[in-house]
Amino acid sequence: MTNFDKKSDRRGTDSLKWTVAEGELPMWVADMDFATAPCVTEALAAKMRRGIFGYENVSDEWYNAIANWWKTRHGVRFSKDWICFVTGVVPAITSCVKSLTSEGGVCVMTPVYDIFFHSIENTGRRVEESPLLYDGENYRIDFADLEKKLSKPDVELLILCNPHNPVGRVWSKEELSRVGELCRDFGVTVISDEIHCDLTEPDVDYVPFVSVSDVCADISVTAISASKAFNLAGLQSAAAVIPNAALREKVVRHFNYDEIAEPNSFACVSATAAFTEGGPWLDELRRYISANRQRVKEFLSSELPQLKLVPQQATYLLWVDCSAVTDNSERLCAHIRRETGLYLNSGDKYRGNGRYFLRINVACPRETLDDGLQRLKRGIKSFV
């Protein structure tokens, strides 16, 4: 059994998350406060002991680990030639935006991971928002609006988030099939960011976009990585899964052009260990995160009923409706941080209706979570 209650002092380690003022508690960026799986640490230590860190090829073990993981965990078969190494999901997305579009629109369903906007706008493209529908409890795709946006002549690409960050939806096979058919009808390619796919609730399975139909497989690039589930973002290892040979050739050519297709000395060994031996550890982690999610739900119900936790099926990033308190979550987050030291994400950066929401990272030991909840309570109570 892994002791996820164990706290680690990450201050002074150049951690992006923990480079904050003394006394502040960061619960923002998608970075867990848990050490990675022991099998990964052991594989990295063995690599270190060799003491030579020259240029490396992508190993056969890396390809096999990914293919076996998706076959056994998610019920989909990847051919080896579909799997392409890339240094990260975001670099892959940005490269695809450049290679698969001219200077037109790229569709996203908001609120959504804010770096998508950077990948689009920093390359001279336009964000074409299709807001998700929110009924006060759950989110769903507005297919009428999505069809309208995809039908625009200069929209060539949809960036799909599956599971969806920040709202935590695991899209159903039926929803994904409809997305694929719409994109096929309008000649739109899909990049499916599935980096959170292994962080579902214990009784929830995600559906890989590529597995839904021949249509979905033929028009898509799926970006996957061990980085979120095993806390390996700093090791720069991801994969793009592209069944369509012509699409794959075009995308990989641009990966090479952007110099994001070669591994560092630790990229393949870490992901291989995670996907080969890390299953039991990951299942423990998912149960712990699920318990943290339930703890937050109960706390809000009893102590902060003016806040509402949106029901989520995946990720460790909670999406909290604060519309009863404010329509300006950026102002609320600034107040909470100033008054209590609790550092959260304001939902406005994710666009859509995000200005009514807070995003809270609960991938942390229970003691840290409880500290954060007490700070949240003080911040909300003192907000005017």
List of residues 6+ apart from 12 with CB closer than 8 A: none
**Distance, CA of 182 to chain centre:** 24
Q: What does the pLDDT read at residue 384?
A: 74
pLDDT, mean over the chain: 97
Half-sphere exposure of 371 (CA within 13 A, CB side): 16
CA 23 to CA 33: how far, in whole Å? Answer: 17
Structure tokens at 62: 């890396």
The pLDDT tens digits of the residues spanning 293-338 come to 999 999 999 999 999 999 999 999 999 999 999 999 999 999 999 9
* Stated pTM of the model: 0.97
In this predicted structure, the answer to whether residue 212 has a pLDDT above a threshold of 80 is yes
Token look-up 């719409």 returns 182
Average pLDDT on 164-168 reads 98
pLDDT single digits (tens) 54-112: 999 999 999 999 999 999 999 999 999 999 999 999 999 999 999 999 989 999 999 99
Q: Tell me the domains of the chain and their CATH numbers.
A: 25-38+279-381 (3.90.1150.10), 53-277 (3.40.640.10)
Q: How far apart are CA 104 and CA 127, in angstroms?
A: 9
pLDDT in tens, 268-288: 999 999 999 999 999 999 999
Distance (Å, whole) CA 253 – CA 99: 9
Nearest to 337 by CA among 292, 297, 372: 372
Task: List for the chain the helix, strand, coil content (%; round to 5).
Answer: 45, 15, 40
Which residues have CB under 8 Å from 3's CB, separation 6+? none
